[in-house]
Amino acid sequence: MEKERIIRKYIVGLFIEKAFDEILGPSGYTVIAFHVKTKHNRDIIDIFVEDPKKALTTIQESLGIGEYLSEILERGLSSYIEKILEHPLKGDIYNKDEFYALAKKCLLKRNEST
């Protein structure tokens, strides 16, 4: 069980770092991770692994961004996934198991194209 959690954290972490850097520009992930760690004393990846929707709320609170900017970030993340997978998303992508599966698919697809 512990091994699976470590693998899940690694995959989600790698995916989030790449996604936020693409959505927010260079160092986007670094800025978010720093503010979440400073304000909540938790690693943002741990929060994404537990509850992706809560992670987005935590980012919103940590950065002091409004609901509108938070929605842009959420849509940006969805668009990033859709662009890599080349199809629209269905269902609750912020369910932790679904989010993990999408992150894994995206990383595999990106590795195939490079």
Q: What's the mean pLDDT in 21-30?
A: 87
Give the separation between CA 64 and CA 61, rounded to whole angstroms: 5
* Mean pLDDT score of the chain: 88
pLDDT of residue 45 exceeding 90:
yes
Give the separation between CA 62 and CA 60, rounded to whole angstroms: 6
pLDDT at residue 114, as a whole number: 62
**Backbone torsions φ then ψ of 53, nearest 5 degrees:** -65, -45
Give the pTM.
0.84
